[in-house]
Amino acid sequence: MSDYTDLLKSKMDEASFEKLTALNNAKVNEFVAYAIELGEPDTVWVGSDSDEDVAYTRQLAISNKEEAKLNIEGHTVHFDGYFDQARKKDVTKYLVPADATLDSKLNQVEREEGLAEIEGMQRGAYKGRQMLVRFFCLGPTDSVFAIPCLQITDSAYVAHSEDLLYRRGYEEFKRQSTNDHFEFFKFRHCTGEVDERMTSKNYEQNRVYMDHTQNTVMSVNTQYAGNTVGLKKLSLRLAIRKADKEGWLAEHMFAMRVNGPEGRKSYFCGAFPSACGKTATAMIPGENIIGDDLVYFRVIDGEFRGANVENGIFGIITDVNSADDPVIWDVLHKPGEVIFSNVLINAGKPYWLGMDDEIPSEGENYCGEWTVGMEGPNGVVATPSHKNARYTVQMSDLVNADPDWDNKSGHPINGIVYGGRDSDTSVPVREAYSWEHGVCTMGATLESETTAATIGAEGVRNWNVMSNMDFLSMSVGRYIANNLNFAKDIKRPTVFGTNYFIKKDGQFLNGKLDKAVWMKWMELRVHGEVEAIDAAYGRIPKFEDLQRLFK
């Protein structure tokens, strides 16, 4: 500690210094001190789990003009730069030591070369700003699932988003710091130069680099949450490697409770690429959501159990309306903390594509001041709200959240669901013959047509193994083998495949809420209460059962 005391004290007030040193963790102090030396902030603020520190972060995002208040109490809006609206795969890379190997299909750069590049971009990036030090936890705190995380950023919007999306982790650091093998994930983000709207200016120099040897993610010249909220998909890449070493699984899945006959509770997890119905499935009316994006699986007391990694939802808002998404619609229209991003704002009210209300012909959006028909900087006519516009809310604000969603032991998983965007091939629902059949023919071979959630052409059919292809940090073969071999000695969940997007003559053949029927059928199947037809590539429902369920 003594090596860093003078440096830390020179940048922090007494309260922040005391919060940091109370953790009594040399690795934490070292990471914070290096960020100070590299980024050269004017001041450093350290946050704890207190409500006061969470409120400070939220207010700072407003004071810094990274967010603006809206008409409804607690609602704010954030804008990303025009070209900073989604994950950018080509600049998201693994740092791989010269003497090590990583699967050749993964985007990577030699570690020392990559470190030199990104640290060169981050050097001095905090000048004139306050550096924020925040502590969060992936998975339920005080549990076998818990992974402590240290986020360093100069963006209050990033830290505010994490306050909604993740469990507070300062006390978890205290709890685990006494362990000689204490390991935590580290994230260092620099917004970079900003324009007059406080959005990252030099997007062509955006970098997101992952040093898996140090459990560290570094990003620069970006604000989009998928690139900067370290505990999201960036941490998933680190968790996949950690799970590989320790014998558990980290998956890109929702978790939900499907309510069966006579009050029966059945738990399902599902992997769907972005904008393919994952959140909508987890939010089906009449069922209960546990989480919409990330799940850790472990064997606990002889059971296959899964835990929601997160504390909230960072969801795509396009096509959210009162008929198809009543719970989310309600949260987005009542007082409480909500961060809207990249929607249209007119007179303090947010508007987005596919909502109930008529959208105004002008306002402020991801382009700046917008009028209908205007072109964006790339010459393309700009939609009023971006197709990948988002909302950020807390689990505790959802009326259909499972009251036991934060269970420290997770939940016993009855079924696993794999689904993608497939316009002409797969049936709406089918059941695998076995765990191995499901992993191989529904998870490992999952294909999906691209959407606005990633940069590039839409509608292109891509292979997306278990909806995790973008986030793998090892070879596909090893990742699939880990799934095949997991929990071999216990009863494993039934595996299902779904497809909500089959079309004929350009029209969808099912409605948005039909997914409720497929989930009800799966719930009955895992308990052996309905029969199925062998369709040669899995089992499908009988007509009379679907007829009854649709009624």
Are 183 and 44 within one domain?
yes
Domain boundary among the residues 341, 373, 395 is at 395
User: What range does the domain containing 456 cover?
Assistant: 249-312+400-550
Domain boundary among the residues 224, 246, 268 is at 246
Radius of gyration of the chain (CA): 23
The length of the chain is 551
On whether residue 78 sits in a domain, the answer given is: no
Residue 214: CATH number of its domain: 3.40.449.10
**pLDDT per position as a tens digit, 324-377:** 888 899 999 999 999 999 999 999 999 999 999 999 999 999 999 999 999 999
Q: Which residues contact 94 (CB under 8 A, 6 or more apart)?
A: 102, 106, 107, 108, 109, 209, 210, 212, 237, 473
Are 434 and 494 within one domain?
yes
| Count of beta carbons in the 10 Å neighbourhood of residue 296 | 28
Q: How far is CA 532 from CA 117, 260, 443, 518, in A?
A: 56, 18, 21, 13
Query: What residue has token string 């020392």?
Result: 112
On whether residue 77 sits in a domain, the answer given is: no
On whether residue 469 sits in a domain, the answer given is: yes
Ranges of residues in the chain with a pLDDT under 70 are 1-2, 450-459
Chain center to CA of 458? 21
Are 203 and 342 within one domain?
no
Beginning with the edge strand found earlier in the chain, give each strand of the sheet holding 288-291 in spatial order: 288-291, 254-259, 265-271, 415-420, 494-499, 429-431, 539-541, 532-534
Counted domains in the chain = 3
3-state SS, 14-58, equals: HHHHHHHHCCCCHHHHHHHHHHHHHHCCCEEEECCCCHHHHHHHH
pLDDT of residue 106: 87
Q: Which of 193, 199, 238 is nearest to 77 (CA)?
A: 199
- Report the amino acid identity of residue 293: D
On whether residue 304 sits in a domain, the answer given is: yes
- Report the amino acid identity of residue 431: E
Are 154 and 178 within one domain?
yes
On whether residue 76 sits in a domain, the answer given is: no
Rounded to whole angstroms, how far apart are CA atoms 448 and 247? Answer: 29
Are 467 and 523 within one domain?
yes
Q: Which residues contact 457 (CB under 8 A, 6 or more apart)?
A: 450
Are 228 and 261 within one domain?
no
Are 6 and 50 within one domain?
yes
Catalytic site includes residue 276: yes
Do residues 240 and 471 make contact, with C-beta atoms less than 8 angstroms apart?
A: yes
Residue 57 tokens read as 């972060």
Rounded to whole angstroms, how far apart are CA atoms 483 and 473? Answer: 15
pLDDT of residue 1: 47
pLDDT of residue 451: 58
Are 18 and 96 within one domain?
yes
Chain center to CA of 306? 16
On whether residue 105 sits in a domain, the answer given is: yes
Q: Which of 295, 387, 288 is nearest to 341 (CA)?
A: 387
Write out the H or E segment, with its range, that includes residue 95. Answer: strand 92-96
Q: What is the DSSP string of 167-207?
A: EE-HHHHHHHTTSTT---EEEEEE--SB-TTS-BS-GGG-E
Rounded to whole angstroms, how far apart are CA atoms 409 and 400? Answer: 20
Which one-letter DSSP state was computed for residue 533?
A: E
Domain boundary among the residues 368, 395, 422 is at 395
Rounded to whole angstroms, how far apart are CA atoms 46 and 19? Answer: 7
Are 181 and 330 within one domain?
no
On whether residue 9 sits in a domain, the answer given is: yes
Are 143 and 280 within one domain?
no
Catalytic residue among 137, 190, 276, 367: 276
- Report the amino acid identity of residue 159: A
Own/partner long-range contacts of 327-330 (Cβ < 8 Å, ≥24 apart): 327/283, 327/285, 327/398, 327/399, 327/400, 328/279, 328/283, 328/391, 328/393, 328/398, 329/356, 330/399
Are 419 and 519 within one domain?
yes
Are 117 and 16 within one domain?
yes
On whether residue 513 sits in a domain, the answer given is: yes
Write out the H or E segment, with its range, that includes residue 436. Answer: helix 435-438
Rounded to whole angstroms, how far apart are CA atoms 363 and 474? Answer: 45
Residue 543: CATH number of its domain: 3.90.228.20
Write out the H or E segment, with its range, that includes residue 524. Answer: helix 515-526
Q: What is the DSSP string of 54-92?
A: HHHHHHHHHHTTSSEE-SSTTEEEE---TT-SSB-GGGE
